A and B are shown apart, each in its own frame.
Chain A
Amino acid sequence: MSTLSLDRYLARESAIHAADARLKFIATAGFILALSLLPVGAFAALALAWAAVVIASAAARVGWLRTTTGAFFALPFLLAAAPLVFTRQADPLGEVDLRLFTLTVSGEGLKMFATIALKSWVSVQAALLLSFTTPFHELVDALRRLRLPSLMVAIISFMYRYIAVLAEESSRMMRARAARSASRDGHTGGSVIWRAKVVGSMVGSLFLRAYERSERVYAAMQSRGFSGEIRHMGGRKLRSGEWLALGTVAAGLSGFSVAARLWFPTA
């Protein structure tokens, strides 16, 4: 059994949890943008940024290890950046003999690769911290208040409500497939194309279930007086203290970006 929940929220009592989701979203996006702007080899700045995430995770009482280790799974994408290590010419460090041809490891390429890996790793941690400290419905509401078109807000809200139901449905279907597909260890039945066709039929079947569910949902909404418009609670404006916090974050991140270009040592 697996139930999938959109909420990765960890209920704790902390100032970060209590903060307005708009602030957290803007701060996280700004932080990741500042990381994105760092030059190649800005390892000191990256270390500082990582320290900031660790401190924030500790302050939010979610445990810095959770964000740090949770961020590793995004790393397969590094394969895409791996060629850099060999295709740059500057600062050759050594050669790898692959019999057919030799690859030259470039110091410059290695430095670029490491920068990308660390940027991505710290960025994922910041995004993780956001989802650990912000319930999803608050995040969606923040996006609505930040002027995401109401149609997209509606789609995301419905998606949030039904994702667990449909994910449960799809895992039931996969369990049924597994129950019908006995096989010896390390062997799989049928050809790859055949297996993909089976998945296709499951997708088709899931579509029908989802479609019919959406009809029931609509009927239920209609019977409760839905007239085509989704109404939201008014929500409050940001308080002056929150504007101040936003300004501080913006100033801090700009200062960080400038300092990283001008004063921080780069490798």
Chain B
Amino acid sequence: MSIPPLFLLHAPDGFLSTPIAAVMWLVTVLALAVAVRRADANLDEKAVPLMGVMAAFVFAAQMFNFQVAGGTSGHLMGGVLVAVLLGPWAGTLVMACVIAVQALVFQDGGLVVMGANIFNMGVVGTFGGYLLYRVLATVLGGEKRARLPAAAIAAWLSVVIAAVLVSFQLALSDTTSLRVALPAMVGVHALIGIGEAVITVAALSFIAATRGDLLHIARPALAGQGSQQ
């Protein structure tokens, strides 16, 4: 079985001009190189299987679909969720691997344009989403109290911003007209983003209710302090 295309964010090959694709690859490779260094520097050995299984988790979690309207269905992107659970560096790497495997195995997203796809969803959608989450949590009164509203807004924005980026990349590639594509993409993804926000919040509150310790442990496990279990 194949996974339905993740909204219109997994661009296939042919849709971005070569210069745009090349620039996006360059930025993505740099960002991932930093993420690998930062994650490598404070990994404990337990983190390697954890990150691998988490990549499989994101992939499997994207299979949960729910009916929206008229036969279309929505599902999770998961960038902010993973970053909140695993931390931004590990989250970014996990998302990048998920996007790469989706392209290599299921042709869900292209190879030459993969740099752009990883940038939009893995770098901006995950790392950027996490930064937003932290800023919002601080502004709204601390991560403990404001975790859910901050995650909701960050999750919504991560999808909308990814859609804005895709629109600009397409327009700069002469593949679409920004005047038409930007409002359409942002409009559709503003709705899809609500689903992302609700799923992210429900997942976090489920985890907080059943294994609240994991909201704190998953990150130390990746930060070299070992798990307290």
Decide: B13 and A170 in contact? CB cutoff 8 A: no
Contacts of A15 in B (CB 8 A): none
The number of chain B residues touching the other chain, given as a range, is: 35 or more
Residues 54-80 of A contacting B (Cβ, < 8 Å): 70-71, 73-74, 76-77, 79-80
Question: Does B28 interact with chain A (Cβ within 8 Å)?
Answer: no
Of A70, A162, A174, A193, the most chain B CB neighbours within 10 A belong to: A162
Question: Does A261 interact with chain B (Cβ within 8 Å)?
Answer: no
Decide: A199 and B76 in contact? CB cutoff 8 A: yes
Distance (whole angstroms) from the CB of A220 to the closest CB of chain B = 9
Q: A37-B18, A151-B93 are in contact. Are A163 and B56 (CB under 8 A)?
A: yes
Decide: A77 and B12 in contact? CB cutoff 8 A: yes
Decide: B202 and A171 in contact? CB cutoff 8 A: no
Residues 21-51 of B contacting A (Cβ, < 8 Å): 21, 32-33, 36, 39-40, 43-46, 48-51
Query: In the complex, which of the residues B15, B74, B210 contacts A77, with contact meaning CB atoms closer than 8 Å?
Result: B15
Question: Does A188 interact with chain B (Cβ within 8 Å)?
Answer: yes
Residues 85-101 of A contacting B (Cβ, < 8 Å): 87
Residues 141-197 of B contacting A (Cβ, < 8 Å): 166, 170, 174-177, 179-181, 185, 194-195
Contacts of B55 in A (CB 8 A): 155-156, 158-159
Contacts of A217 in B (CB 8 A): 49, 53
Q: Would you mind naming 26 contact pairs between A and B with Cβ atoms under 8 Å apart? A: A29-B112, A32-B112, A33-B112, A36-B14, A80-B15, A87-B177, A112-B175, A116-B15, A131-B104, A156-B55, A156-B100, A159-B101, A162-B53, A167-B56, A167-B60, A174-B63, A192-B66, A192-B195, A193-B198, A199-B76, A203-B199, A203-B202, A204-B210, A215-B229, A217-B49, A228-B45
Q: Which 8 pairs from chain A and chain B are nearest by CB? A: A158-B52, A200-B202, A204-B206, A119-B14, A120-B14, A228-B45, A123-B13, A166-B60
Known pairs A112-B175, A155-B97, A170-B60. 4 more at Cβ < 8 A? A151-B36, A196-B195, A200-B206, A203-B199
